[in-house]
Amino acid sequence: MYTAEVPSVAFSAPWEKSFDERMAMLLRGSPRAAYFYEAPDTSTFRYRAYNVWQSLAAEASGPSASWFHSGDLDCIGRVLDQCDVLVLCRVHYTDRINRMVSWARARQRRVLFDVDDLVFDVRCAHTLMDTLEVELNDAAWQFWFGDISRIGVTMLLCDGVVVTNPYLAARAEAFLGKPAHIIPNYLNQEQMELCDRIWRAKDQSNWARDRRIHLGYFSGTPSHNRDFALIAGPLARLMDEDERLTLRVVGFLDGIGSELERHCTRIETIPLQDFLNLQRQIGQVEINLVPLQDNIFTNCKSELKWFEAAAVGAVTVAAPTYTYRHAIEHGTNGWLAPAYAWEDVLREVIRGGEGCWRPVAARARADAEERFGWYNQTATIRSALFEW
């Protein structure tokens, strides 16, 4: 484990602003994008709405953006009067959403749908539910078909779609029959400032470590049991071989599985973290683990677990799904491990030691900043939102 210390962050949600403050943010520039998200949170909302606002707000002139939510619906006419584009971000259909879209059309506003997962096409519901290990009973079918259908119906009201990567774009275009543009998930300013502090602390300590090697699994949602099961056996066998290995699990995981029980004293479990203190936890591990099943749902996911680890100097071993295959150059800025090869790839990475990890970490950080830094997204955002 890396021992350089960066103090924990006293977190407060930076998007907790009044309606008038958010309207002023929208009116700052031109053209203007009004994002609508049901209730701001630290995951999809942060990546898809807050980060976009932040990138545009950093420019002295040009486009502007802001965000609104279900609590603003009584005032939404004021928003529609002032915006050029309305972006509905992963919104479930209701009569009020339909009415908002109708009002936007009456004002000749473009309406876009933003989505970061394959959660809009009920034809894919079985794969999604299976991937998330949902118990397949009538209540689950009722809930998931209803949930996905409502997102899909809202999407069908829109003029186009904005997604995170080309694989998801192809599925969205096939469903909607209209064009898809891409704004990737990326690191925001607060994350990058903290990541810079973590990186400097490591550098100033000459990447000091204790005698342990931490393998990190960072689960942001309670839906990754089957993903983790892909590596439980390989991890158990590697921990049999090497007493230096410690597993750190942060976030949601129902259980580590029977194969790892014999190593329970070398497994750290840490509660779900806010998005800043998560970077501290990632920065302490040497190796970041990203196992994923290989199916149409997981191939639509973004590469965020790679770039968030890269920003703090943790090297990543990931499943070769679409986005990780395109982000990671095997052995140069990370490693790719098909389901059958996790044990061999991890053994190779562990044996490589610091002489292997540090140059890979440096290359990964440079690549992540260039492709996924908040300050490098403005042209992409302009194209996706305003240049149709």
CATH of the domain at 201: 3.40.50.2000
Q: Give the CA distances from residue 64 to residues 28, 52, 147, 184, 318, in Å, rounded to whole numbers and listed in that order.
A: 6, 9, 31, 18, 36
Shared domain for 307 and 379, answered yes or no, is: no
Residues 278 and 261: their CA atoms lie apart, in Å, by 25
User: Would you tell me how many other CB atoms lie within 10 Å of the CB of residue 359?
Assistant: 13
Residue 222 has a pLDDT of: 56
Residues 57 and 20: their CA atoms lie apart, in Å, by 16
Shared domain for 204 and 262, answered yes or no, is: yes
CA 217 to chain centre: 15
Residue 304 has a pLDDT of: 97
**Averaged confidence pLDDT in the chain:** 95
Shared domain for 44 and 119, answered yes or no, is: yes
Does residue 14 belong to any structural domain of this protein?
no
Give 360-365 contacts, CB < 8 A, sequence gap 24+: 360/315, 360/331, 360/332, 360/333, 360/334, 361/310, 361/313, 361/314, 361/315, 363/332, 363/333, 364/306, 364/309, 364/310, 364/315, 364/316, 364/333, 364/334, 365/199, 365/310, 365/311, 365/313
Q: Is the Cα torsion angle 132, 135, 137, 142 positive or negative in sign?
A: negative
pLDDT tens track for 144-166: 999 999 999 999 999 999 999 99
The pLDDT confidence band at residue 251, using thresholds 50, 70 and 90, is confident
Sheet with 64-68, edge to edge strand ranges: 64-68, 32-36, 85-89, 110-114, 160-163, 180-182
Residues 117 and 138: their CA atoms lie apart, in Å, by 24
Among 47, 51, 89, 131, smallest CA distance to 304 is for 47
Shared domain for 316 and 195, answered yes or no, is: yes
Domain that holds residue 75: 19-184+375-386
The pLDDT confidence band at residue 253, using thresholds 50, 70 and 90, is confident
Among 273, 205, 215, 209, smallest CA distance to 239 is for 215
Does residue 10 belong to any structural domain of this protein?
no
Shared domain for 305 and 322, answered yes or no, is: yes
**Angle at the Cα of 348 (from 346 to 352), degrees rounded to 5?**
115
The pLDDT confidence band at residue 256, using thresholds 50, 70 and 90, is confident
Residue 223 has a pLDDT of: 59
Give 120-124 contacts, CB < 8 A, sequence gap 24+: 120/148, 120/151, 120/152, 120/155, 120/172, 120/175, 121/148, 121/152, 121/171, 121/175, 122/148, 122/149, 122/152, 124/148, 124/171, 124/296, 124/297
Does residue 2 belong to any structural domain of this protein?
no
Residue 268 has φ and ψ, to the nearest 5°, of -100, 130
Shared domain for 220 and 354, answered yes or no, is: yes
CATH of the domain at 81: 3.40.50
Shared domain for 170 and 212, answered yes or no, is: no
Please tell me the total count of domains within the chain.
2
Using the predicted structure, report yes or no on whether residue 137 has a pLDDT greater than 70: yes
Does residue 156 belong to any structural domain of this protein?
yes
Shared domain for 166 and 53, answered yes or no, is: yes
- Pairing mode, strands 245-251 and 160-163: unpaired
Shared domain for 25 and 165, answered yes or no, is: yes
If you search the block for the tokens 């158990």, which residue do you land on?
Answer: 236
Does residue 12 belong to any structural domain of this protein?
no
Residue 182 has a pLDDT of: 98
Using the predicted structure, report yes or no on whether residue 332 has a pLDDT greater than 60: yes
Shared domain for 270 and 203, answered yes or no, is: yes
Residue 284 · residue 2 · CB < 8 Å: yes
Shared domain for 199 and 157, answered yes or no, is: no
The pLDDT confidence band at residue 258, using thresholds 50, 70 and 90, is confident
Among 98, 87, 75, smallest CA distance to 50 is for 87
Helix (H/G/I), strand (E/B), else coil: 215: strand
Does residue 5 belong to any structural domain of this protein?
no
Rounded to the nearest 10°, the torsion over CA 227, 231, 233, 235 is -140
Does residue 242 belong to any structural domain of this protein?
yes
Residue 221 has a pLDDT of: 63
Residues 388 and 375: their CA atoms lie apart, in Å, by 22
Does residue 249 belong to any structural domain of this protein?
yes
| Cross-strand partners of 315 | 287
Helix (H/G/I), strand (E/B), else coil: 209: strand
Residues 382 and 379: their CA atoms lie apart, in Å, by 5
Shared domain for 45 and 135, answered yes or no, is: yes
The distance in angstroms from the start CA to the end CA of the chain is: 48
Residue 388 has a pLDDT of: 80
